[in-house]
Amino acid sequence: MVNVFFGLCLLALIGAVVLVVAARKSGDGIAVFGFRPFMVATGSMEPTFQVNGLVVARDGGFDDIKVGDIVAFRAEGMQGQTALHRVIKIVDDNDKYEGRIFVVKGDNNMQADGAPVTRDNYLGKVVWNTNFTKAYADALNQPGGWVRAIALPILALLLVFIAMRCLIGASMSWQGKGLAISAAVLLVSSASLLAYAAFTIRKVDHTNEALAKVANDFSEKCKLGETWKIAGRPVIGRIEIPEIDLDYPVIAYSGASSLDVAITHFTGAKINTTGNSVLAGRRVYGDTSLLNLFFTRIDRLGVGDDVYLTSPDCERVKYTVTDHEAVKSPDDSMLMQPNDGKRYTALISGSYDMLNRYIVRAEAVQN
């Protein structure tokens, strides 16, 4: 029985590795009996699909798609790469495309996709997903990840296997053996959860520190007329919110993937110029701790709190929060400010349940 248990666990581990690697390497997904696995690459569908989550789509069924379904398709705006978005509108007759088309949008995106899904770029309907692969894939992507994600789990299985073999051969009742085995499994599981929690906290802290350094370097370099980049994207500003210990660089918005890198200048006036400068940032779903990553805790801001923005010309301007609210996906009217020659900023993100957006508005102290 122990040998069977160990064999099944080892087989499950190997299967998980193969599935994760295959899903990551596949372009249109490797079809197995009409089902295609995909590894989620961006946060456009959070919290339904988290980055490095696993999604399975079923081929066919284009004519059966309904509003609300999630479809896999080759995205025109992403050079044909696979995307997974929700259908928000179906158009049967149109002047530009032949046949029915689907207007799609990522649950965590502020706007619908620029190009529709057609019969030609449609790949399938999403029928299953899990976010349990996220931790595993994240571990693989870290330095020494193969050791943590493969070698350590195998070592843990070996230790459990040896412990169970010893317990079965021990001179005690079967009830005692069962309790001992349960205790061993509980101990290994608890240790794994604690290790993962510690790894997550360390990773977030490291990310916060690295981004804060980039933001500080930007402030220093811009005085010398130099430019600074993060993940290949030019830094165009810096945002500091002392109340929630936030200090991040700002980059230009260039699609959902840019939100994974830093705070983005989404739309509106340039930073620290007349008008309303709208900055967008992701939130860590479900994070209610003291950790901070992008706009995780902007709902904790209150009227009168300070926001500091630094523009490319090194001007650092203090803004004061005037109001904040949770709203549905914002339209342009929610982002508008009076055309009165003053400087404003709006911080916008998804709420924890991702059903609403959260907006914080602020006005420059000296205009």
Query: What are 226-237's pLDDT values in tens digits?
Result: 777 787 788 889
The parent domain of residue 257 ranges over: 211-364
Strand bridging mode 54-58 / 35-39: antiparallel
CATH number at residue 348: 2.40.260.10
Confidence of residue 289 (pLDDT cuts 50, 70, 90): very low
Phi, psi of 260 (to 5 degrees): -80, -10
**pTM beyond 0.75:** no
- On whether both 101 and 242 belong to a single domain, the answer is no
Out of 132, 166, 189, a domain closes at: 132
Q: What is the pLDDT of residue 63?
A: 92
- On whether both 333 and 224 belong to a single domain, the answer is yes
Q: What is the pLDDT of residue 24?
A: 53
Q: Cα–Cα distance between 137 and 252 in angstroms, integer?
A: 28
Nearest alpha-carbon partner for 107 in 137, 84, 130, 81: 84
Number of CB atoms found within 10 A of residue 233's CB:
16
- On whether both 220 and 101 belong to a single domain, the answer is no
Contact between residue 188 and residue 211 where contact means Cβ atoms under 8 Å apart: no
In a domain, 197, yes or no: no
In a domain, 119, yes or no: yes
In a domain, 163, yes or no: no
Contact between residue 116 and residue 103 where contact means Cβ atoms under 8 Å apart: yes
Number of CB atoms found within 10 A of residue 346's CB:
22
Give CA separation, 354 vs 128, 132, 283, 293, in Å: 20, 19, 9, 16
Out of 111, 132, 153, a domain closes at: 132
In a domain, 141, yes or no: no
In a domain, 139, yes or no: no
CATH number at residue 99: 2.10.109.10
Number of domains present in the structure of the chain: 2
- On whether both 231 and 338 belong to a single domain, the answer is yes
Phi, psi of 20 (to 5 degrees): -65, -45
Q: Mean pLDDT across the chain, nearest whole number?
A: 77
Q: Cα–Cα distance between 299 and 324 in angstroms, integer?
A: 8
- On whether both 260 and 360 belong to a single domain, the answer is yes
Out of 132, 158, 183, a domain closes at: 132
Contact between residue 299 and residue 356 where contact means Cβ atoms under 8 Å apart: no
- On whether both 220 and 359 belong to a single domain, the answer is yes
- Whether the pLDDT of residue 184 is over 60: the answer is yes
The more confidently predicted of residues 94 and 85 is 85
In a domain, 328, yes or no: yes
In a domain, 318, yes or no: yes
- On whether both 221 and 351 belong to a single domain, the answer is yes
Q: Residue 317 has which token pair?
A: 């301007």
Q: For 11-61, what is each residue's pLDDT tens digit?
A: 665 665 565 555 555 555 566 678 888 878 777 887 788 877 888 899 989
Tell me what percent of the residues of the chain surpass a pLDDT of 90: 21
User: What is the three-class DSSP state of 5?
Assistant: helix
Q: What is the pLDDT of residue 286?
A: 40
Cα 91 to chain center, whole Å?
A: 30
In a domain, 282, yes or no: yes
Q: Which of 35-39, 150-154, 163-167, 179-183 has the highest mean pLDDT?
A: 35-39
Q: What is the pLDDT of residue 25?
A: 53
